[in-house]
Amino acid sequence: MVEVTVTPQSSLADRPVQIRVRGLSPSQLVTLRAWLKDEQGECFQSRAFFRADEAGEVDPGLHAALGGSYSGVWPMGLFWFLQPDTLFRRLVKRDVAGSPFRVRLEVFDGLSMGTDPREQPLASCEAERWYVGPGVQRVPIREGRVRGALFLPPGPGPFPGVIDLFGGAGGLIEFRAGLLASQGFAVLALAFFAYDDLPRVLAQLDLEYFEEAAELLLRHPKVRGPGLGVVGVSKGAEVALAMATFLPQVVATVWINGTSFLYGNPLLYKELRIPAIPYYTERVLFTEVGAMDNSAIFTDPRDPAHRASAIPVEKIRGKVLFVVGEADRSFNSKLFAELALARMPPESGRLLSYPGAGHLIEPPGSPLCSNSSIRGTPRPVAWGGEPQPHARAQEHSWQEILQFLELHLGSVAAMKL
């Protein structure tokens, strides 16, 4: 009797699980397949080919995949190397608090290429991958101008506070906030355009909006001050660096593949205006799959003509962790991080740089998205990255991010799910 199990059956999406197949013949060639449907009904799947050991078992944590979506020993390979059936789709959990992703795991005899819909598995099981732990509360935020969702760990607190920002597609993305709250942080997933009654397009960065959000979070009775953290990716990283520069409440900043200059949108704060470097959209290149490689539209920030557009990071009084994917096809993130570090106070910044990692460095469990369609662009965007180094970068950087936030914001009580 062939059996496939996943342990634990229900887990947080950033935590490892163990997959085991038992009851096979010694040296039997089998295919392990993982698949799920996202909330839009899009299918993401992976498969890997294995030979059973002498006991008739397969354990992807011990046994090398011979081929398929990956090869070699990757305990979480079936999760990390999921790919969309439809090009340019990105796996993003939208209903973070209400339901998990349900991942089906199936075992087939021999090589299953997925071309025969009548093919029946020898065994199957289901894993639940959650983006919030037990007892995490999601509170919609619509106060003053601030729009977003607050994730609170269970218990009386107070908890260290973090603001979580995404990038140029706008809207509200909550999955990272849910995972951070499951680690014991009170996290405000903050929208700043293209959501609710916020502006539909981003014309300028109004830093007073982000200051209002910081003050709102610090006023919450379950949030421990006096300082807070900010995590931002892409345009959100640019915002995060500006917050670290001008807002004394921000003491720990995680900057993931962003810029250190204003591009496309000026920054306004009280009487201050930092002009933006324009995007040179005519320099966009189309990749072999028809996506837009935007790296050339960001002109060289070292040009003396752009000096006034630099975020004045020499004013930063907190700590900044720069996380860089060296295969980022959106822009030269490593250059922006190095230019910022050169001007920041000594010991205030640290760089984690990952060869082969792309633009969208996310918590582990999010498969590499190297191209995807996003709101407001005429074609899909190329993000870059190679699956295996990108997966390693996500696993390593996530632990570094959690340790960094805990070091500078104070201890947390993480969940065991």
Start-end of H helices in 172-257? 175-181, 207-219, 235-246
The distance of Cα 186 from the centroid of its chain, to the nearest Å, equals 18
Q: DSSP assignment of 98-149, as one string?
A: T--EEEEEEEEES---S--TT---SEEEEEEEESS-TT-EEEEEEETTEEEE
Q: ∠ CA 286-290-294 to the nearest 5 degrees?
A: 40
Out of 182, 359, 366, 390, pick the active-site residue.
359
Query: Is residue 234 among the annotated active site residues?
Result: yes
Euclidean distance between CA atoms 196 and 95, whole angstroms: 16
Crossing angle of the two packed helices 207-219 and 235-246, in degrees rounded to 10: 70
Query: Is residue 53 among the annotated active site residues?
Result: no
Report which DSSP code applies to 345. P
Out of 164, 206, 293, 328, pick the active-site residue.
328
CA distances from 41 to 86, 89, 178, 339, 348 (A): 11, 11, 22, 43, 45
Phi, psi at 104, each rounded to 5°: -85, 135
Out of 46, 234, 295, 366, pick the active-site residue.
234
Report which DSSP code applies to 72. B
Place of tokens 């005899």: 109
Query: Is residue 99 among the annotated active site residues?
Result: no
Place of tokens 């355009």: 193
Report which DSSP code applies to 25. P
Euclidean distance between CA atoms 100 and 310, whole angstroms: 41
The distance of Cα 360 from the centroid of its chain, to the nearest Å, equals 6
**Which of the residues are catalytic?**
234, 328, 359
